Chains A and B, each alone.
Chain A
Amino acid sequence: MSRAVAVVGVGQTHHNSKLPDVNCAEMVRIAVDKALLDAGLTHEDIDAIVLGKAPDPLEGIMQPEQYLAGALGAHMKPIIRVHTAGSVGCTTALVAATHVASGIYGRVLTVAFEKQSEGNAMWALSPNYAFTPPMVAGAGGFFAPYCRAYIMRSGAPSHIGAVVAANARENAARNEHAHLKDPMTVEDVLASPMLWDPIRLLETCPSSDGAIAIVLANEELAKKGPRKPAWIKAGATFTEPMFVPGRDQVSPLAGRMCAKFVYEKAGIKDPWNEIQVAEFYVPFSWYEPMWLENLGFAPLNEGWKVVDRGDQKMGRHMPVNPSGGVLNTNPIGASGMLRFGEAALQVMGRAGEHQVPNVKNALGHAYGGGAQYFSIAILGTEL
């Protein structure tokens, strides 16, 4: 960041398969009000708004930032609407950070939401492209071959996915906002129906309703408090096309480049030992070992060994997804910003029961499209 940017407030709704007592506007407003309250600010303190969400057909409102202008407190303010598939939440937060880093805006409110109960995610996530046979398989059907390729390539034993899912659920139980919290063992996961081999029902993310809002501020304003800010030490988005001969769908080059870029900017040489907690975008269990490798936390084909040893669990070397992650809470457009926001809360020491001790650096990550869009942020206690 050319100018320092910090997270000064975070607010999120409870997440559930259906939040029947609120419409989109009301749901978004809850997150906005909580973020402003958290930052000790009011709407008058906000200079601009950056909104992100995944495809509009999920709720049936086209460009909902227009309808939501009032709920967002955007009247007579600038608003930008971002959409970069599943990565959008984290990318939206980074677009907001760019607004502050530009020096044009002092405080920016960034918001992401999805109300999946209003639409049909399987349909909305099965796009029909020219010259490509429609799979009508949703995201799970799309990503299962990538996970299978990972297993073949790495020789990972078949229980790894179930271990990831059970651990994520254990973590979610400590997160007051998480959607799925019922206890679940490795045996439960292995006994659940196979949906898209190798992905079983209990290794799959839910469809959630939920929203998150974050207030970002420049250095001068961030230091005014009331809370200890989380500094954005680096952030970037890298993207690659779907159809490139030789593209590595299992460990995409865009993800590796994005990670390398942010580590360099943040001055991190050894992420496994210099980052204390990470929130990865893991919609299907196998993606946890895949991202451990793609983001440089484990050597190629050895991410599953980290999971097998349990080094990514709470209380171990570097907890991954202490919030329970996307596997237990997935309002798609908001999921990436939840990774960013949870990383910020860990840095601020305010993650509650799922707080990891002594966090200096935290990583928030999201991906989207056909494993094409990558967005990573490093948040830290120090500038």
Chain B
Amino acid sequence: MSKLRNVAIVGFAQAPIVDADPHHTAPEMLYPVVKQALASCGIERKDIDYQCAGSSDYIDGRAFSFSQVLEVMGAWPPVQDSHVEMDAVWAAYLVWVKMQAEECDTAIVAGFGKCSEGSPTHVLNLQLDPFYHASLGLDHISTAALQASAYMAKSGVDDAGLAEVVARNRAAGAANPDTQLRKAASAKDLQGTPFVTKPLREGYLPPIGETATVMVLAVEGKAEKMCDKPVWIQGVDHRIELQTIGSRDLTQSASTRLAARNALEMASVTSAREAQVVELGSATPAEELILRDALGLPSGLGGNGASADGPVVNPSGSPLCGNPLMNTGLLRLAEGFRQLSGRAGERAVAGAKRALVHASAGHCLQQNIVWVLGTERRWT
């Protein structure tokens, strides 16, 4: 890989993740977050070259939903702008590409999604093949349950194993003031919750909430002036697979494996184990185990592989403690930023210098992005 531009995450802010914020529209939720993110960098909107939002018309229940946040993102006088109909973590990716093309030096990324204004279950059904899958009434929970069943059959992980994964994340989430579920739960208690769709229990599924998120990115030379500890992007790659549930091996995530291989190679890092922090976009316990496999990380079940020198996985509590659609991925990247820039408070992983961040989109981990972040610049 030839020499690329060093790009850093220099600021992040978010609204609290809640079940529903009935008193504020999406722009109203986003406005204070934009101001907070810019203020945290000591800059004003005019210091930003480019903006990109990530959101979904279907989630918000209106066409062109993204156009309503232009006012609060500060698009006057007119600005260079784009929008991806994806989780905002892909807006961050587009910004990174834009910076590599030398088309901008500073950018803000915004995520929002008023999940409470619609029915995510019905909306995510419409994401599936309209002829063969959507018409069956499948939604994100039933497809995840099919995947979990397949994984359990192949790996031998049982119900108690799934509960253990969730309990670990819930314990981490309890120490994260920015997530939604901040109450620890024991594996035994979680196993006592009823099935939603077998083998996934109520306690194994995250609440779908809503928030607004803003990230500030800048290139070397500008980043240092905007943040005391810029977090450098050392590598990144993303990949998608075929959607058809029956045509891919649901027990593994081939696209995550490939994206991770490419991102690690770009970062000149040999293995995910070289990171001190790993943050995964897993919304079910089976997804976490599949992603661990894809990244070459031990399952951590029953003390397996939980060695002292391995990375801390999901210090935020992962999406299992809060899954505000269209923001969930960007929140993972934000956790990497917080951990490496001394902004993780009580849950800070001591001595963290490198983080591997994953985020996902679609049913059954169809599309995946992997970032390698570090406290040091990658290219000199």
Q: Which residues from chain A sit less than 8 Å from chain B, CB to CB? A: 1-3, 23, 54-58, 60-63, 65-67, 69-70, 74-85, 91, 95, 98-99, 101-104, 124-130, 236-244, 247, 252-254, 257-258, 369-370, 372-373
Contact = CB atoms under 8 A, between A and B. Distances in A.
Given A56-B85, A236-B80, A63 B56 contact: yes
A240 B70 contact: yes
A60 B127 contact: no
B81 A67 contact: no
B84 A127 contact: no
Given A67-B128, A98-B98, A83 B83 contact: yes
A101 B243 CA distance: 29
A65 B362 CA distance: 10
Contact of B82 (A55, A61, A84): A84
18 contacts: A2-B103, A23-B131, A58-B63, A65-B240, A66-B363, A66-B367, A70-B244, A77-B239, A77-B240, A80-B94, A95-B82, A102-B98, A125-B63, A126-B63, A130-B25, A130-B27, A239-B75, A369-B67
Specify which of B25, B81, B131, B243 lies most central, judged by the most chain A CB atoms within 10 Å of its CB.
Answer: B81
A-B interface, 6 closest residue pairs, ranked by CB to CB distance from nearest = A254-B78, A55-B63, A102-B100, A239-B81, A101-B101, A2-B102
A243 B100 CA distance: 33
B255 interface: yes
A63 B85 contact: yes
Interface string B34-67: 0000000000000000000000111000111111
A327 B127 CA distance: 31
B241 interface: yes
Interface string B230-257: 0000000111111110000000001100
B67 to A, nearest CB: 5
A82 B100 contact: no
B131 A84 contact: no
Given A99-B97, A102-B100, A69 B130 contact: no
B146 interface: no
Given A85-B64, A253-B77, A66 B361 contact: yes
B70 A69 contact: no
A255 B35 CA distance: 27
Given A237-B80, A239-B78, A56 B58 contact: yes
Specify which of B58, B67, B76, B123 lies most central, judged by the most chain A CB atoms within 10 Å of its CB.
Answer: B67
Contacts of A102: 97-98, 100-101
A243 B71 contact: yes
Given A61-B127, A82-B83, A253 B242 contact: no
B130 A82 contact: no
B100 A76 contact: no
B240 A78 contact: yes
A60 B57 CA distance: 11
Interface in B107-158: 123-124, 126-131
Contact of A76 (B90, B101, B129, B239): B239
A369 B238 contact: no
A54 to B, nearest CB: 8
Contacts of B56: 56, 62-63
Contacts of B169: none
Contact of B243 (A2, A70, A83): A70
Nearest to B255: A76
Contacts of A124: 63
Interface in B13-42: 25, 27
Contact of A67 (B62, B83, B243): B243
Contacts of B361: 63, 66
B82 A244 contact: no
B366 A76 contact: no
Given A125-B63, A239-B75, A372-B67, 12 more contacts: A70-B242, A74-B240, A76-B254, A76-B255, A83-B66, A91-B82, A98-B98, A99-B101, A130-B27, A237-B80, A239-B80, A373-B81
A298 B128 CA distance: 48
Contacts of B362: 63, 66
B84 A80 contact: yes
Contact of B64 (A65, A239, A244, A369): A369
A310 to B, nearest CB: 32
Given A2-B101, A61-B127, A237-B80, A75 B70 contact: no
A98 B97 contact: yes
Nearest to A2: B102
B86 interface: yes
Given A63-B362, A67-B243, A241-B71, A55 B64 contact: yes
A126 B2 CA distance: 47
Nearest to A66: B362
Contacts of B98: 98, 102
B258 interface: yes
Nearest to A59: B130
